Each structure stands twice: as C-alpha cells, then as structure tokens.
Amino acid sequence: MTTIITNSHLTAEINHSGAELFSLKSNSNNKEYIWQGNPEFWGKHSPILFPIVGTLKDNSYTSNSIQYHLSRHGFARDTAFELINKNQNSATFSMQSNEETLQVYPFHFELQISYILENKNLNINYKVINKAESKMPFSIGAHPAFSLSRNFDNYSIQFEKEEPLVYNLLENDLISNETKILATTNSAVPLDYKLFENDALIFKSLQSNYLTILETGNPLLRVRYNNFPHLGIWTKKDAPFLCVEPWFGYSDSVESSGNLMEKEGIQILDSYKIFESKFSIEII
C-alpha cells in the first residue's frame, strides 16, 4: 500500500512498508528523482535506518549484560507503518515497539516519520519517542537513492562550504580507522565509481549543512541535513544512482565493545523524552 501527497510543484509516493519514500516527481515534466529499485543493482529506494545505522560487530550488541542480535540498519525498513495523518501535501506514519521488536531491541518506543511538500522541497521529519522509564540508546538515518539518468561521470557533488572532506572507509561493513580526503575540482567532487570500491564514504564530521548534486555542472537537487552530525555517500559499481545519507550514528568499528550504550555515535534518549530531527530534498 502506498500514499501519495502532492502540491503545485512535486508529487511524492510513500510505501507503508518501511514508510519508505518510493517516488518523487516533478509535476512539470514528470521527471523521477528517486531510484526505482532495480534489483540488479539495489532493490531499495529510500529506507529508514532505525534503531541502528550500519552494521554491528558480529551483528550483535549487549544491553544490561544481555546479548541481542540486530541485522544491518535495523528493522524499521522492513516493518509496516501505520498512516496516522494525511492531507494533500503531507503524511505522517508511525510504528511502535511490539513483541517482535522487543526480542531484538528491548526498548519501548514510537517512531514517527512525516513527509511534507513545501514549494520545491520535500521535508522529512523524524520523531523518536521513549515510552519507558529507562534511557533509550538508538541511531537513526536516511538512505535516499537519487536516480541518475546520464552516465555517472556526468555528475558531481558540491558541499555548501569549502572544507577538508575527510571520510572514513568501511572494511567488511565496519568503520575502518583509515581516512582519506575527497579531492575537489572547482569546489566540486567529480563522481567516479572508483570512489566507492571500498563501499560507502563515511563523514563523521562536516561543516557544510547541505550538498548539491550537479548534472553536467548544473544543479539537479540539494539535500539539506542541518543538524545531522554524520553523512554517508554510496553507490554500487555501474549503478545509475547516488545515495546521500544523513545519519545520527554509523557502523561499529572493529574495536567496538558491543555495549550499545557505549557505541560511538549513539544517541541516548532520556525517559519519556522526544527526539526530533529533519532533512529536506530540494528539486532545483
């Protein structure tokens, strides 16, 4: 089941499975901006990552000295959400902890995802609610894949600010201690599949609040992630898409203790408190 929202500029379609953005089109020319999930490369579109981002060491963690197993990126992306609010240009989806989630993540929560069209922007709001007396460790992140209709080398990315673009590499799905710096040409980073030979580029810290995808040097779309501390950029070899992924958290390192409360990049939400964050996709 999907829900469609629209305004005078854009139309978005959201799948109730995973509350996943399925489509984002321009009304003027019907251009599709979201990757349509060809399984030959990658069968997703824009999954929500919760309650972890990335991979845990040995796909497990401990909480209160009990070991739990949790697969890459968590379970939200594979869970049915309930549509709890809808009007022409916005929709809000919710999932809550249940017997199944408590077996792998022993915390009582509600996760709400809101999609709001405003002019040529799609705003995506996250709300995490701790519904228990104990502190709740979690990560949350976005994973939108943007469709690229031309050859990959026709595209580049440009960050808001001139800054050293230091990123960590992934090694066997875990964060490596090896870092590199993205080289720029006229303040832009030309896209090349070789950049992703070791999987995603993980930025633990950036000064820029947004980046722009350029097509033959012209702005195509912009992803604003003002208060997200971490960012991933990823594609697969020869795939005609690019993922720009604002995150709170990232994969374990090989030195990880396994204690979820001690995990690098983890967020700790106090009893009965609410965490809120948002990012946006602007069509240019």
Q: Give the start-to-end residue ranges of the domains of the chain.
A: 2-283
Thinking of the domain 2-283, which architecture would CATH place it in? Distorted Sandwich (2.70)
Compute the distance between CA of residue 109 and CA of residue 103 in angstroms, rounded to an integer: 14
Residues in CB range of 116: below 8 A, 6 or more apart: 5, 89, 90, 122, 123, 124, 125
Q: What is the mean pLDDT of residues 3-23?
A: 98
Q: What is the reported pLDDT for 42?
A: 95
Whole-prediction pTM: 0.96
Compute the distance between CA of residue 162 and CA of residue 181 in angstroms, rounded to an integer: 13
The model's pLDDT over 160-185, given as tens digits with 9 standing for 90+, comes to 999 999 999 888 899 998 999 999 98
Compute the distance between CA of residue 280 and CA of residue 123 in angstroms, rounded to an integer: 4
Picking from 158, 150, 143, the residue whose alpha carbon sits closest to that of residue 284 is 158
The model's pLDDT over 181-195, given as tens digits with 9 standing for 90+, comes to 999 988 899 999 999
The model's pLDDT over 69-119, given as tens digits with 9 standing for 90+, comes to 999 999 999 999 999 999 999 999 999 999 999 999 999 999 999 999 999
Compute the distance between CA of residue 204 and CA of residue 224 in angstroms, rounded to an integer: 16
CB-based contact 111:94 (threshold 8 Å):
yes
State residue 101 phi and psi, 5-degree precision: -70, -35
CA atoms within 13 A on the CB side of 120: 11
